[in-house]
Amino acid sequence: MTELTPPLDALARIVGPENVLSEPDRPNTGMFRTRRIRGVVRPATVDEARQVVATPGAGPLHAISTGRNWGLGSHHAPQDDAVLLDLGRLAAVREIDLTAGWAVVEPGVTQGMLSELLDGTERMVNVTVSAAETSVLGNALDRGSGLRHQRVHDLAGLEVVLPDGELVRVGWWPDREKATPVYPHGLGPSLLQLFVQSSFGVVTAAAIRLLPRPEALRVIRMAFEPDVLDHAADALRRWVHQGLVRGVPKIFDQITSRPYGGDPGKYLVHVCVDGTTESVAALVRVITAEARATGLFSGISHTEATEPAHPNHETAVLVERGYAGDPDVRNTVFEAKTGHAPAEVDEKIGLASFLPLIPFNGKKIALADRLLREVSEQTGVRAATTLHVLDQDVVESVVGLRFDRDDEAGVAAAHRALDLLYQRFTAAGFIPYRLDVDHADWRERLHTDPAATALTRRLKNFLDPDGTIVHGRYH
Ligand SMILES: Cc1cc2nc3c(=O)[nH]c(=O)nc-3n(C[C@H](O)[C@H](O)[C@H](O)COP(=O)(O)OP(=O)(O)OC[C@H]3O[C@@H](n4cnc5c(N)ncnc54)[C@H](O)[C@@H]3O)c2cc1C
Tell me if residue 29 falls in helix, strand or coil: coil
Relative to the CA of 337, which ligand 1 atom is closest?
1
The mean-pLDDT minimum among 45-49, 129-133, 270-274, 452-456 falls in 452-456
Three-state SS sequence of 318-375: HHHHHHCCCCCCCCHHHHHHHCCCHHHHHHHCEEEEECEEEECCHHHHHHHHHHHHHH
Nearest protein CA to atom 5 of ligand 1, as residue: 130
Structure confidence at residue 24 as a pLDDT band (50, 70, 90):
confident
pLDDT, tens only, 200-240: 999 999 999 999 999 999 999 999 999 999 999 999 999 99
Task: Give the distance from CA 165 to its chain's centroid.
Answer: 28
Q: Is the dihedral of CA 330, 332, 333, 337 positive or negative?
A: positive
CA of 113 to the centre of ligand 1 (A): 16
pLDDT at 2: 59
Average pLDDT, the chain: 96
CA of 130 to the centre of ligand 1 (A): 9
The mean-pLDDT minimum among 30-39, 120-129, 294-303, 316-325 falls in 30-39
291 pLDDT exceeds 80?
yes
Beta strand extents in 360-418 (DSSP E only): 382-389, 394-403
pLDDT at 6: 77
Q: Under a CB-based contact definition with an 8 Å cutoff, are residues 83 and 41 in contact?
A: yes
pLDDT at 475: 84
Q: What CA–CA distance (Å, rounded) separates 279 from 282?
A: 5
Structural domains present in the chain: 8-86 (3.30.43.10), 93-212 (3.30.465.10), 216-324 (3.40.462.10), 343-439 (3.40.462.10)
Mutate to test the pocket of ligand 1, among 53, 61, 70 (most ligand atoms within 8 A of CB): 70
CA of 388 to the centre of ligand 1 (A): 17
- What average pLDDT does the segment 383-393 reach? 97
pLDDT at 7: 86
Nearest protein CA to atom 44 of ligand 1, as residue: 63
CA of 246 to the centre of ligand 1 (A): 24
- Please list every protein residue whose CB sits less than 6 Å from any atom of ligand 1: 63-71, 87, 107, 128-130, 134-135, 138-139, 141-142, 144-145, 202-203, 334, 337-338, 351, 472
Relative to the CA of 75, which ligand 1 atom is closest?
29
CA of 264 to the centre of ligand 1 (A): 31
Work out the percent of the chain whose per-residue pLDDT is above 70: 99
Nearest protein CA to atom 22 of ligand 1, as residue: 69
pLDDT, tens only, 152-164: 999 999 999 999 9
164: nearest Cα among 197, 206, 204, 202: 202
Work out the percent of the chain whose per-residue pLDDT is above 90: 93
pLDDT, tens only, 427-457: 999 999 999 999 999 998 998 798 999 999 9
pLDDT at 103: 98
Nearest protein CA to atom 4 of ligand 1, as residue: 130
